[in-house]
Structure 1
Amino acid sequence: MTSHLTAVTDTGTRGRRSRPRVYPRPLLLACVLVALLAAVPLFFVVGYTISVGWSEAWRLLVRPRVGELLVNTTELVAGGMASSAVLGTAAAWLVERTDLPGRRVWHVLLAAPLAVPAFVVSFGWVSLTSAAQGYPGALLIVTLAYYPLVYLPVGAALRGLDPALEESARSLGLGPWRTFARVVLPQLRPALLGGALLVGLHLLAEFGALQMLRFPTFTTAIYDQYRSSFNSAAANMLAGVLVLYCGVLVVAELGLRGRHRYARLGPGSSRPAVPARLGWFAVPALAGLGAVVLLALGIPLASIVRWLVVGTSTAFPAADLATATVTAAGLGLAGALTTVVLALPVAWLAVRHPGRIGTLLERSTYTANALPGIVVALALVTVSLRVLPAVYQTTALLIAAYSIMFLPRATVALRAAVAQAPPVLDDVARALGLRPARVWWRVTLPLIAPGVGAGAILVFLAVVTELTATLLLSPTGTRTLATEFWSNTNDIDYGAAAPYAGLMVLLSAPATFLLTRSARRGP
């Protein structure tokens, strides 16, 4: 009996009858289970909205405060996505496609801000000057914190492009800028839009950095509402708005990305493109990249060192610091492994079996990423108490929260890797007599390994610095670097918080370096 399931129809060539699209049943089932897990916070928000009644929900949503939060959130998300896209793409082009001096060093430095959590960057700026507070400061800081989410995939995509396409365009009379706009940029679309989408989703859910910067958004307002009332109807309504906002971003990214295929077979990507000569432009290019690195790394790291030296509350409790570090690293590894395993079937279905069902299942995993950690945590608390009381306040429930929140990070990385792995190689291996398991191990996995590694590292970096869900879901007595840092900054003990901030950076730095190495080996 066949192990496939007919799900939707595929539009064939004009004039031919449509053929039914066939999905592998085990793969489809795995993706449905992952999507259901990712949708738990959404079910929680929707269920609560229904329970309070539509009239009450409408009354809570049409308040002037909601309008103010909508404007603030929209300005921050639009500005942050645009600035991160421009900065990340420009930096990737300079590093990958020009004769910029010290390109390998710049690659590491430009990816290094991933090792510094956004709320630590905010800590560095706010503890030096109050001028960082407000929208301009928030836009600057979130851009400096999140542009690597665009820089890394765009850089990997640039390395995977066939330089013959650009050479053909130039031979037809197109100048450098027109070649970039008409040939290169369209091929960067999946990486660029995927990275920008991740930036937007992170900004929708960002809490710690914006709370320090005193820039109110839906997320900070939700936290304030829950802090005043654990079961706040107003907070749940605001969470519902975030869900809708996430849907708008996901649909917009899907529409802009289109249905083009980017995998190809041939030696084109193994031949590096001839670097563009910068000439006199090398000086301003170096100055610009140096300014980015200084603002993103220099100021927060200098602030940490300053508070370590001059802070009156600075202390180095070795046992507490070691326990928090080991706990954060262990949770990061467990969360990264679990999330990549969950993301792999979703990415595979979306790329190798494209269709409405695959797209729907993939996009459904993005929703929770736009919700604050506190909403995800409360949803899991509610479900666990009602359905599985045994998992309440366990590490397993905390890992589940991490997987739900950071699944898009792994999915985007894996999707890009699978999209650039030609399916014909699998077909050739099977034609030569290899069993499916051997094909996967010897052909497919080596091709997508850079994407797997990149996804795991991105999740690890997010988990070791996660704050709100960890505060609510971790077993009693669990202390991580992020929670200890936040506890001290809340008491304005910047000196006491500095060692935990420094350890977060040190713990994240090796993972960030591995991420840059993985990106350099990308397709």
Structure 2
Amino acid sequence: MLRFDTFTTAIFDQFQSSFNGPAANMLAGVLALCCLALLCLESATRGKARYARLGAGSARQAVPARLGRCWMLAALLLCLCTAALTLGVPLITLGRWLWIGGREAWQNEALWPALQQTLLLGAAGAVLTVLAAVPQAWLSVRAPSRLQRLQEGCNYVTSALPGIVTALALVTITINFARPLYQTVATILLAYLLMFLPRALVSLRAGIAQAPAELENAARSLGSTPGQALRRITLRLAAPGGAAGLAMVFLAISNELTATLLLAPNGTRTLATGFWAMTSEIDYIAAAPYALLMVLLSLPLTWLLHNYSKRTAGR
């Protein structure tokens, strides 16, 4: 829409001109190599740091840094400008188009089914992704190894690729080897799992890392099985991280476009695809309700993530 060239737009142009062309594969390979370099750096800096206390005690309180009057005003001005650009400009623009459209802007028969399908796909994809991330996050914290880090790194490499690359790969596989699965709910949920698994994995890993392993050992010594100790102790302590991962994956799915366009069953229309269709026709009045619903959908999840960040910061 903004006519700004990125890897994603370049790959889409290459696939559009010559399906699965070498130029598109080369661009996707560059992204994968960049992701591998960052993964190696992250793995080296993570090390074997510990994030949970060994015994009783209170969390260390962060000491606020005192700014001078000039620096405080400059910081406040920067925050206000950022908020005005990120919130004010989009909301004012949406309000303008909704005001111009009036009630007719909300009389689109496809609007509310799109909201329903967005909620269903987002909820199903988020739950599936978080459940798949639980064992990997536990292994990452409790039993790290080279094989486990390699498996975790593969997830990040897949997530680093544009959605169109993952979608077209699944299109090729389903058409050639599993044609009944082409353009089904199972295929689109698999695409969401591949694309957004790291978002749930990071949150769950942080939550499990803050749950002392000694509590699991104590539960086992009192007669609990390893599965019971994991369910009753670790997963309960990591539940806020799981909820944050659930929220992030849901937000990502509700805004996802390329994979949904290529893999969703015929007739599927989400808020993102509806917004894209209206803006492609330069019908900004009809597109405004889709955009506003996506904004409203993100508000409670943003509040949840804000509370989780405050909790992890010890505030």
Question: Fold match, TM over 0.5?
Answer: yes
Instruction: Name 2:2's counterpart in structure 1.
Output: 213
Q: CA deviation at 1:257?
A: 3.0
In the alignment, structure 1 residue 256 sits paired with structure 2 residue 45: yes
- TM-score normalized by the length of structure 1: 0.57
**2: CA distance, partners of 1:270 / 1:257:** 21
Q: How many residues align?
A: 312
Alpha-carbon offset, residue 232 of structure 1: 2.8
Quote the residue 2:162 is aligned against.
372
Q: Does 1:222 align with 2:11?
A: yes
2:115 maps to 1:310: no
CA distance in 2, matches of 1:489, 1:444: 46
Question: Mapping of 1:82-481 within 5 angstroms?
Answer: 212-270=1-59, 272-278=61-67, 280=69, 281-310=71-100, 315-481=105-271
Q: Which amino acid aligns with 2:150?
A: L
- Which of these residues, 263, 286, 290, is aligned with residue 496 of structure 1? 286
> Equivalent residue for 1:55?
none
Q: Matches of 2:58 and 2:127 in 1, distance apart? A: 30
After superposition, the C-alpha distances for 1:325-379 in whole angstroms (9 at most, x for unaligned) are 0101111101110111111111111111112111111111111111111111111
Structure 1: stretches of 5+ with no match in the other structure: 1-211
Structure 1 distance, partners of 2:95, 2:196, is 30
Larger relative contact order, structure 1 or 2 (CA cutoff 8 Å, min sep 6) = 2
Give the corresponding residue for 1:63: none
- Once residues 267 and 278 of structure 1 are traced to their aligned partners in structure 2, the CA distance between those partners, rounded to angstroms, is 34
- Quickly say closer, same or farther: Cα 1:438–1:227, change in 2 above 3 A: same
The 2-side partners of 1:486 and 1:381 are apart by 21
Aligned-pair distance for 1:484? 0.8
> In the alignment, is the contact (CA less than 8 A) between 1:374 and 1:469 conserved in 2?
yes
Q: Is the 8 A contact 1:329 1:507 kept in 2?
A: no
SS of 1:417's equivalent?
Answer: helix
Identity within the alignment, %: 55
TM-fit CA distance, 1:224 = 1.2
Q: Which moved more, 1:279-288 or 1:489-498?
A: 279-288
Q: Partner letter of residue 145 of structure 2?
A: G
Contact persistence 1:450–1:519 (CA under 8 A): no
Structure 1 residues 40-74: Cα deviation after superposition (integer angstroms, max 9, x where no partner)? xxxxxxxxxxxxxxxxxxxxxxxxxxxxxxxxxxx
Q: CA RMSD in A?
A: 2.1
CA distance in 2, matches of 1:225, 1:318: 34
Give the CA deviation at 1:275: 4.0
CA positional deviation for 1:309 = 1.8
* Structure 2: runs of 5+ lacking an equivalent: none
Distance in 1 separating the partners of 2:161 and 2:280 = 23
Q: Distance in 2 between matches of 1:460 and 1:241?
A: 28
* Per-residue deviation, residues 442-465 of structure 1 (Å, max 9, x unmatched): 211121111111111100000000
**Following the alignment from structure 1 to structure 2, what is the Cα–Cα distance between the partners of residues 395 and 436?**
35
Contact 1:454 1:519 in 2 (8 A): no
Distance change in 2, residues 1:301/1:224 (3 Å):
same
Q: TM-score scaled by structure 2?
A: 0.92
